[in-house]
Structure 1
């Protein structure tokens, strides 16, 4: 439980008695494990994504989001990063990590304008954004989407560090 619960507006800190069933499930998982990974599978509209809820509440660490890979793999990566952070390894924007997946990942700050499109369950839990979110961006052949040759990765994962107006039009901007 965070030490500054007066500043926290989440369902647990505000002791909300009757949250909706999805939020109740999230509360139960966070109470038991410290955080939850929400998984949205790929469908006809586009790639899937996954994100944590509870790292901020329980440990005052940024929530994590990942896009465009198998949701089971993304769940594993997000849980591994969460465990490493709880054990003392920091989570900060700009980090490149080579110890959590078969490809390098980089952590990038997510702009608040993307929250409503991708993090609805977290908004329901926290009740009042902003809560910090870092995007876990994966590379292909060591190249990230913001590097020359990495532009093709944007069809698999968005650049949530960009303002939505600056993001290339595609599957990710349709949510806005």
Structure 2
């Protein structure tokens, strides 16, 4: 059990909440480091993804998510991004940044809330209730084209969902199959 007071996250609520080992690890990491990174490895059903929990609690920054790379790579990228946010380089919708993946820019895009339940359950549980802001950190293909650019590698669109598009309007794929 975990017990705290004040806002609406698990570190601040004034109620006892049962947590499994994963939930306890997340709470400990947010308390000790300022954030946690939850990694979902790829499997036979589709590509993996990773996302932060605690950036809002600690830094009043939107949480961040990445898709389609190896889970450990995304985890390292999100830790690097969180360090940059802590240093004052905040996420800005649509702005390229070069401090997440070596030799490649990334772009932050605001995630439509219709995706939250399918992809970010741990964060929803941690914060106890929406609204919660997420930004997708989108990476380019080998020649620097993003999924929305003409001529980008087709596999890039399969690996990274366009979460700024409502789930019901998104092209069918592994991401739209998630409950």
Report 1:158-169 matches (<5 A). Answer: 158-169=161-172
Q: Where in structure 1 are there 5+ consecutive unaligned residues?
A: none
C-alpha distance after superposition, 1:36-66 (max 9, x if no partner): 0000000000000000000001110110000
Report 1:104-123 matches (<5 A). Answer: 104-123=105-124
Q: Where in structure 2 are there 5+ consecutive unaligned residues?
A: none
User: Aligned partners of 1:125, 1:110: CA distance in 2, in Å?
Assistant: 18
The alpha-carbon deviation at position 136 of structure 1 amounts to 0.3
Matched position secondary structure for 1:130:
coil
Matched position secondary structure for 1:44:
coil
Contact 1:64 1:136 in 2 (8 A): yes
**TM-score w.r.t. structure 1 length?**
0.92
- Tell me which moved more, 52-61 or 9-18: 9-18
User: Aligned partners of 1:175, 1:148: CA distance in 2, in Å?
Assistant: 27
Corresponding residue for 2:19?
Answer: 20
Q: For this pair of structures, how many residues does the alignment match? A: 171
- Structure with more contact order per residue of length (Cα contacts < 8 Å, sep ≥ 6): 1
Contact 1:93 1:107 in 2 (8 A): yes
Corresponding residue for 1:84?
Answer: 84
Matched position secondary structure for 1:134:
strand
Contact 1:11 1:19 in 2 (8 A): no
The alpha-carbon deviation at position 151 of structure 1 amounts to 6.5
Matched position secondary structure for 2:108:
strand
C-alpha distance after superposition, 1:116-162 (max 9, x if no partner): 00001111111101211110000002111111123721210100000
Report 1:32-51 matches (<5 A). Answer: 32-51=32-51
- Tell me which moved more, 142-151 or 158-167: 142-151
Of 128, 144, 147, the match for 1:145: 147
User: Aligned partners of 1:151, 1:73: CA distance in 2, in Å?
Assistant: 20
**TM-score w.r.t. structure 2 length?**
0.90
